Structure 1
């Protein structure tokens, strides 16, 4: 494919982040899952070494497995897949410039939290909002989402948005598939 064709088809990088927005269901799932895991660990530690008389039967299903399956299905119903897209370079540069690092007025020193060269408290919410292309977050939807998610969930979105813009994601170079390597006749 020639350069012009590739350039005509160029798109910005995208990724998705799935978040369960129902913390109560997630907490119940984690509680039931922990009970199942604990019982499985107890059963494994109580089995006698070398005693394989029951090995052909396999472990009995946990009595809470149907409840765990129900909670997993409920979590899926409350999970939203967010599609994030890298920002065009001019938009990224502008966003970066709009959020300079904070400086202590008395000492003149940069706030240590802003080691990336930006005011992280203001930059990352703006970056995430600008990067999410689906679902649409116009109007008060962004504020409502921002208030509804945990810090860990926000960090997943922020990390994805940062990586889209700052981490090299091109196809890695491989010596084994390089045309010049295959045709070099060096073997």
Structure 2
């Protein structure tokens, strides 16, 4: 019966890695490109990316597990961030964009769950691109329905 599926229900999740050391990423990518160039040159031999570069990227990376909210929590979150009357974009989307996204991302992160103080530190280290990725994943987890594989 369908009720058995409800008892086993799992909300959608996604792990979002965020590296907080752009220089480590750049050094890794440069080494990767050099290895690719060497592989393309038959006389260049095989060059691999040094393990310490991968270790540096990994050490500076937080892997956030994000989970979609149950429908009722999503609705309550939207209600608690109503659009500002004087803001056309808010009125178009139906919520206060300045406040909803932070609340949404924070509610969707289930592991590790940063304290308010830790979140402030993380927020200071995020680029707009990384922030946009977190927001996009949170929106996707909550607004995109399941697609059955058959």
Fold-level match, TM-score > 0.5?
yes
Match of 2:45 among 60, 70, 76: 60
Residue from 30, 36, 40 that aligns with 2:37? 40
Tell me whether 1:96 sits opposite 2:78 in the alignment. Answer: yes
Stretches of structure 1 that go unaligned for 5 or more consecutive residues are 48-56, 105-109, 175-187
Q: Deviations over 1:85-135 (max 9, x none)?
A: 11122211111112222332xxxxx42366322222211111000000000
Instruction: Indicate the residue corresponding to 2:110 in structure 1.
Output: 133
Question: What is the count of residue pairs matched by the alignment?
Answer: 150
Partners of 2:109 and 2:10 in 1: how far apart?
A: 15
After TM superposition, what 4+ stretches of structure 1 lie above 6 angstroms from structure 2?
none
Q: Normalising by the residue count of structure 1, what TM-score does the alignment of the two structures yield?
A: 0.68
Distance 1:159 1:61, change over 3 A: same
More helix by share: 2
Query: Could you list the runs of 5+ residues in structure 2 that have no partner in the other structure?
Result: none
What is the CA RMSD across the aligned residues, in angstroms?
Answer: 2.7
Q: TM-score, normalised by structure 2?
A: 0.82
Higher mean C-alpha deviation, range 131-140 or range 114-123: 114-123
Quote the residue 2:65 is aligned against: 83
Q: Which residue of 1 aligns with 2:132?
A: 155
Q: Describe the shift of the 1:116–1:59 C-alpha distance in structure 2 as closer, same or farther (beyond 3 A).
A: farther
- Determine which structure has more spread, i.e. the larger CA radius of gyration: 1
Q: Which of the residues 120, 142, 145 maps onto 2:119?
A: 142
